Structure 1
Amino acid sequence: MITGQAAGRPGTTAGSRTPHTDWVDDTLLHGPPQDICLVLDGETDRQTLRTAVTERQKYLEDAGLRPGGTLALQLPPSLEYVALLLAVWRLGAQIVLLDHRLTGAETERAVAHTNPQLFVSTPEAASAMRGFHQVNPELTVRPGGEPARSDHVLVQLSSGSTGPSKVIGRSAGDLVTELERYSGLDGMPQSGEQLVILGSLSHTWGLIGGLLHGLHAGARIVLPARTSVRGILATVAAATVPTTLLGVPAQVALLASVAEPPQLPRLTRMMTAGGRTPAKVAQAFTERYSVPLSQCYGMTETGMITMDLAGTHYPSVGPAVPGVRVRVENGELLVALPRSPYLGEAPQDRWSDGWLRTRDAGEIDPGTGCVTVLGRLDSQVSIRGLKVDLTEVEETLTGLDGVAEAVVLHQDAIDAYVTLSPGAALPQVQQELAARLASFKLPSRWYVLPQFPRTATGKPRRDPAVLRAAAA
């Protein structure tokens, strides 16, 4: 249970908003009381979860949290995390989700920037290989914290893989609408099935596509005891009902690296988001496990945009899901959004007239409506007057047998950052790349990394200074 002393009762101001709260019970906590909804170190049925949420709600009320108030939550995956998240929403307050893997300095900046009234964290170190934790949360009241200035119930920070993090808000209506879209897709886990979540619960894919969808659809949500290959495969092997894995490309690559995985008769598919899975990794995964690799394309700002559940459209990410409108303008993908998702100072020219600029280059097939993401818009550079698509270079490089992972950037020249497969040599990789790409597309500088530094969501960092430091 939460520990810590309440240092006062943060109130609301006349300008704060009080969101409608019935959606928590109607959308997330509904269902037969005896149904198992969460599996961590034990099974949690819906009645037990409701009781836990009610207890945390009472504690937060006693600490001073009110409708329209704000609370930042920084916990590893745990029953406490789920119960506190739902309790904040049930109170009609706004929650700021902070990844538990942030450094102390990153946490301080995030808390100072979002300025919540309450902050819940834990002093206990989280194991990187554990899927769930036992935690003792500590609550801190921040006397200078501010109430919510909008009707957003969820506040997240973008991953920051390509620049400073942005503060992004979503309303209860946004979340309910997206959950209805997930449930409307044929093949998403539902009642009688289970969803094994490998991704972060504080970021959009694991939170909404995983945790909230599972609660809404009545699927059993499972967090493996260990997120190593052996731990993941053991969790799936023990399944007695149809099972879906939800993760990110790095976890797909981890599973695809197993030459002879065990028989997994209950595994139905793996869903991935947060970047495109390299073609050779996608092929290896589907060959080894004989199930579809489903690709979701979305953003923290919008949630799910496309979903190729059958895994048949690769390298396209499929058509936009019903209710989402996408168009291409000057080679950039734009998504319809009725209002700006940004809190505080919004990125310049990112949203206007009901459309969000994704900063992703892409194209839409006029016949099928399938969306193909061609990489970041800033990946198009000029080399000696000739246009080079850095995404093409990066994907070609990643496709070589000796390359485990690659990032290609441009400053004054093309730089390649690579991790090599065991036994591979850089000169051989350079020679094979030269046989596949024109000379003006080839990297001028090469950096070999033992491993890529990553964001909290598992994406490779793309900051040249960070990458060069890792190479050194």
Structure 2
Amino acid sequence: MLSETLREAATRFGDRPCLVEPEGATLTFGALHLASERLARQLAQAGIREGDVVALQLPSNFDYVISYCALARLGAITAGLNPHLAAGEQARILDMLQPRVVVGIHSTSGGSWPAYDIAEFDIQHEVDKPQVIDPAELEPLAELPPDPERPVAIVLTSGTTGLPKGALFRNSQLEAISRIDLGPNWAEVWGIGGAQIASTQFAHIGFMTKLPWYIRCGMATYLLPKWRTETVMELIDAHRITTLGVIAPQLAILLRHEALPRYDLSSVDLIIAGGAASPPALITAASQRFGARYSVRYSSTESGGVGLSNDAGSPEDQINSVLFPREGVEAGVFLEDGTEAGAGVIGELRLRSNAMFAGYWNDPESTQTAVRTGWLHTGDLAQRTPSGGIQLTGRHRDRYVRGGYNVYPTEVEAVLLDHPSVADVAVVPLSHEVLGSIGAAVVVPTAGAQVPTLAELREFCIDRLATWKHPEALVLAESLPYTSGLKLDRAQLASIVAQEDSQ
């Protein structure tokens, strides 16, 4: 699907920018097609065949996308490694993947597989130029027959519970994701344009499974090696970015940045926020400042990066992040006995769609645990609202018990994020000899605001949360730890809080 889509895009709008680096170098759709065709032939000469797993140890740049498209052209399976992972973590992941080869920068083999430095291949980006393939220029390369079940990508999970697992996606899942994101007439969509900032690593689910429809739309993607608030505002202003993908704390910091009045952000018509709770005050402020629709999203690697959103709710539901299944996705809240939970009753959120992963690579046991009777067991806790929507309340493993009462950190965090002196916050449990556990709030204060005290935060919670949910310890921090997949690293947070508590 990916290589066929790129070939058609190169014909339809080959001279449009596809990828733009921070310094301005541009790779057009035509140039991407030509470079990936050239690389596919070199990889074939190196022995890469259909069904081979190739691990990419590359940063999120032109080479990564060219390599992914070239491997798809051969029917090989791309497994991208996030470059922010430590060397030991990457080595363990490679042991799990058992790739045919590794392609990276200054790569050396650490296992039974050969490693290639990307510089060994003559990719020839030929940026800033429209490119049309001259058949006489390239060695013949057999066309693969259409196959919906052909594996395309292995996307690593966030690894917040241990070593990341490899979620496998086939052509059929990539098509289902395009259908959910673009609508039922997705196959007729070509060249509608738009511009976005690459706010995640290319190895992330949000890029690996959605690249085919980015290409189909002719969307320009501006590369951002690291999120810097003012750089993001500069990109929006200079390149008229239309879609802004963020996690809520990033957006909160942007809205409070002293340079905000200097930039024209009016081109943004859609804000997509996931990965962290979006407080009602943030949704209201961002919608007003940008004049844009604010779409709260919930998904996971296993769900294919599609799941729930607040788009279908009433205005009140939308501002309170009440979520509904997106078109083509089924969702339910289930009790441990397998029955559906009633309104207001907390249970496990489960999803079902054609976009769901095909299974964990080399891990059938974990696959059987994650998918049962056709449902993806997310491990996230949720409850139905009176309107029929779904509100997330946390994860099973994050829940703690204070004096016999369950407390879900995400519920407390959503309230504290509304405090004007709180830029970012996470709640983690502390052991207590009488109550079992109490909540400690790790707070990143808002720049320029008065640093909040524990008493002030507890008073702020009085009319918003039951007393047993109020934080009972406060740790101030310059920033919160996030995983390479932009998820809150609660294990590291627990260590920070424990260390503070012991002092």
Normalising by the residue count of structure 1, what TM-score does the alignment of the two structures yield?
A: 0.81
CA positional deviation for 1:359: 1.1
Q: State the partner residue of 2:78.
A: 95
Q: State the partner residue of 1:198.
A: 199
CA positional deviation for 1:319: 2.3
Q: State the partner residue of 2:214.
A: 214
User: Are 2:250 and 1:251 aligned?
Assistant: yes
Call closer, same or farther: CA 1:430–1:25 in 2, change over 3 Å. Answer: closer
Q: State the partner residue of 1:415.
A: 439
Q: C-alpha deviations, 1:266-299, integer Å up to 9, x for none?
A: 2222222223223333333223222222222111
Once residues 408 and 308 of structure 2 are traced to their aligned partners in structure 1, the CA distance between those partners, rounded to angstroms, is: 23
Q: State the partner residue of 2:18.
A: 37
Whether the 8 Å contact between 1:402 and 1:429 is mirrored in structure 2 is no
Whether the 8 Å contact between 1:247 and 1:271 is mirrored in structure 2 is yes
CA positional deviation for 1:402: 2.4
CA positional deviation for 1:90: 1.2
Q: State the partner residue of 1:357.
A: 377
- 2:453 counterpart (409, 426, 431): 426
Call closer, same or farther: CA 1:467–1:90 in 2, change over 3 Å. Answer: farther
RMSD between superposed Cα atoms in Å: 3.1
Call closer, same or farther: CA 1:429–1:156 in 2, change over 3 Å. Answer: farther
CA positional deviation for 1:75: 1.4
Q: State the partner residue of 2:87.
A: 104
Once residues 216 and 499 of structure 2 are traced to their aligned partners in structure 1, the CA distance between those partners, rounded to angstroms, is: 42
Give the SS at the match of 1:424: coil
Q: C-alpha deviations, 1:55-92, integer Å up to 9, x for none?
A: 21122122221111111112112110100011111111
- 1:324 counterpart (325, 329, 335): 329
CA positional deviation for 1:100: 1.1
Whether the 8 Å contact between 2:236 and 2:264 is mirrored in structure 1 is no
Q: C-alpha deviations, 1:16-40, integer Å up to 9, x for none?
A: xxxxxxx223334422233332222
Structure 1, 224-233 or 70-79: larger mean CA deviation? 224-233
- 2:68 counterpart (57, 73, 85): 85
Give the SS at the match of 1:267: coil
Whether the 8 Å contact between 1:333 and 1:361 is mirrored in structure 2 is yes
Whether the 8 Å contact between 2:416 and 2:461 is mirrored in structure 1 is no
CA positional deviation for 1:48: 1.0
CA positional deviation for 1:424: 0.5
Whether the 8 Å contact between 2:180 and 2:327 is mirrored in structure 1 is yes
Once residues 429 and 164 of structure 1 are traced to their aligned partners in structure 2, the CA distance between those partners, rounded to angstroms, is: 39
User: Are 2:55 and 1:69 aligned?
Assistant: no
CA positional deviation for 1:410: 2.9
Structure 1: runs of 5+ lacking an equivalent:
1-22, 124-137
Report the residue type matching 2:373 in the other structure.
D
Whether the 8 Å contact between 1:117 and 1:144 is mirrored in structure 2 is yes
Whether the 8 Å contact between 2:299 and 2:307 is mirrored in structure 1 is yes
Whether the 8 Å contact between 1:119 and 1:142 is mirrored in structure 2 is no
User: Are 2:13 and 1:26 aligned?
Assistant: no
CA positional deviation for 1:144: 4.8
Matches within 5 A, 1:455-470: 455-463=483-491, 464-468=493-497
Structure 1, 326-335 or 190-199: larger mean CA deviation? 190-199
Matches within 5 A, 1:234-245: 234-239=234-239, 243-245=242-244
Once residues 141 and 47 of structure 1 are traced to their aligned partners in structure 2, the CA distance between those partners, rounded to angstroms, is: 36
CA positional deviation for 1:52: 0.6
Q: Report % sequence identity.
A: 25
Whether the 8 Å contact between 1:294 and 1:309 is mirrored in structure 2 is yes
Once residues 139 and 62 of structure 1 are traced to their aligned partners in structure 2, the CA distance between those partners, rounded to angstroms, is: 20
Report the residue type matching 1:355 in the other structure.
W
Q: State the partner residue of 1:306.
A: 308
Matches within 5 A, 1:14-413: 23-31=1-9, 32=12, 33-40=14-21, 41-123=24-106, 138=107, 143-144=112-113, 152-184=151-183, 191-209=192-210, 211-224=211-224, 227-239=227-239, 243-258=242-257, 260-261=260-261, 262-303=263-304, 304-308=306-310, 312=315, 313-316=318-321, 318-330=323-335, 331-336=347-352, 341-345=359-363, 346-347=365-366, 349-365=369-385, 370-410=389-429, 412=431, 413=437
Call closer, same or farther: CA 1:440–1:322 in 2, change over 3 Å. Answer: closer
Q: C-alpha deviations, 1:411-452, integer Å up to 9, x for none?
A: 631232222234314344444346344443233443332221
Report the residue type matching 2:327 in the other structure.
P
- 1:449 counterpart (471, 477, 486): 477
Once residues 486 and 264 of structure 2 are traced to their aligned partners in structure 1, the CA distance between those partners, rounded to angstroms, is: 27
Structure 1, 222-231 or 458-467: larger mean CA deviation? 222-231
CA positional deviation for 1:53: 0.2
Once residues 406 and 453 of structure 1 are traced to their aligned partners in structure 2, the CA distance between those partners, rounded to angstroms, is: 11
Report the residue type matching 1:30 in the other structure.
E
Give the SS at the match of 2:319: coil
Report the residue type matching 2:4 in the other structure.
D
Call closer, same or farther: CA 1:408–1:103 in 2, change over 3 Å. Answer: same
Aligned residues: 429
CA positional deviation for 1:385: 2.3
Whether the 8 Å contact between 2:312 and 2:324 is mirrored in structure 1 is no
Normalising by the residue count of structure 2, what TM-score does the alignment of the two structures yield?
A: 0.76
Structure 2: runs of 5+ lacking an equivalent:
115-148, 336-346, 432-436
